[in-house]
Amino acid sequence: MSVISARDVEKRYGQTWALRAVSFELERGGCLLVTGPNGSGKTTLLRLVAGLATPTRGRLEIDSDRSQLGYLAHEPLVYRDLTGLENLDLYGRLYRVSERRERIGMLLERFGLWEARGQRVSTYSRGMTQRLALCRALLHEPRLLVLDEPYAALDEDGAALLDRELEDLARDRTLVVSTHDVERVVSLETARLALA
């Protein structure tokens, strides 16, 4: 059963082609690994899958609504002047997370951010911010996870955390991951898309 079905999907911004014709299917529970050099359109594709942009051409069908989708971008998608806790609380409300406080607490602890929860995100290190972004993406227990180079901003500890997390998630969630660090994710991969 396909969660994502893409046929000749393209994205153009004015005169620039950000993504050339791409076709693939991803079944539920699968893990799609997207590889390619910088500028090949990995981020564009993931944005299309996440629903942040619509394709210029082609057909892209996603069997998921916004409440079931988790997205990790290059930017953390958080407010720098709010604390980690306040950021997650806001998103928890917007995503109507049940037992919000408990879930936030659990995630913060799991990703080693519990002590820093009352500090503004502007004081976090890059690794910490990325971990917070991960918390944000996982907060509502999404069935479809779209991760754009998740290892990029993480330190060794964070990367190890993410390894464990992804292994866990890959078991029953559908994943779309773009990464330069192919070896880390290759064990989970069920399909690959190499962009030129």
Partner 1 sequence: MSLNRNVAAIAVGAAGLMALALAMVFFVAPEDADQGISQKIFYFHVPIALTAYACFGTGAWKGLRLLWTGAERYDLESYTAIHQGTIFGALTLLTGSIWAKASWGVWWAWSSNQLVLFLVLFLFYCAYFMLRFSVEPGTRRARVSAVYALFGVALIPISFLAIRLANDFIHPTVFTRHGAQMTGTMLAAFWVSWAALLLLAFVMYRVELIGKHIDANLRDLRDILTAR
Partner 2 sequence: MSAYAADVAALARKDLRLELRAKDTLPAMLLFVLATLVVFHFALPPDAGDDAAYGLLWVALVFTALLGLGRAWVPEREGAALDGLVLAPCDRSAIWLGKALATLAFLVAAEVVALPAFALFFAPLRGTALLGVVLVDIGICTVGSLVSAMAASSRTRELILPLLFLPLAIPLIVGGVGSSISPDGGKYLLFLALYDGVFSILSWASFEYVVTE
167 sits near partner 2 (criterion: CB under 8 A)? no
124 sits near partner 2 (criterion: CB under 8 A)? no
Q: Which whole-number Å values give the CA distances from 155 to 28, 150, 162, in the listed order?
A: 30, 11, 10
Residue 119 DSSP one-character state: S
Q: Segment 43-62, which members bind partner 1 (CB under 8 A)?
A: 53-54, 56
- Is 158 in contact with 132 (CB distance < 8 Å)? no
* Strand partners for 7: 59
- Is 7 in contact with 58 (CB distance < 8 Å)? yes
Q: Segment 10-39, which members bind partner 2 (CB under 8 A)?
A: none
Query: For the chain, where are the alpha helices, taking DSSP H only?
Result: 42-50, 84-94, 100-110, 126-138, 156-172, 182-185
| The one segment of 6-14, 65-73, 142-150, 176-184 that binds partner 1 by CB under 8 A | 6-14
Binds partner 1 by CB under 8 A, chosen from 7, 12, 110, 184? 12
152 sits near partner 2 (criterion: CB under 8 A)? no
86 sits near partner 2 (criterion: CB under 8 A)? yes
Residue 121, binding choice from partner 1, partner 2, none, Cβ under 5 to 8 Å by partner class: partner 2
Q: Using DSSP, state whether 30 is helix, strand or coil.
A: coil
Residue 123 DSSP one-character state: G
Q: C-alpha dihedral over 170, 31, 28, 158, to 10 degrees?
A: 40
Q: Parallel, antiparallel, or unpaired: how do β-strands 57-62 and 69-72 relate?
A: unpaired
77 sits near partner 2 (criterion: CB under 8 A)? yes
- Looking at the Cβ atoms of 15 and 38, the one nearer to partner 1 is 15
- Looking at the Cβ atoms of 35 and 130, the one nearer to partner 2 is 130
Task: Please give the residue ranges that form the binding site for partner 2 (CB under 8 A).
Answer: 50-54, 65-67, 69, 71, 73, 75-82, 86, 90-91, 93-96, 120-121, 136
Q: Give me the residues that bind partner 1 (CB under 8 A), please.
A: 12-15, 17, 20, 53-54, 56, 196
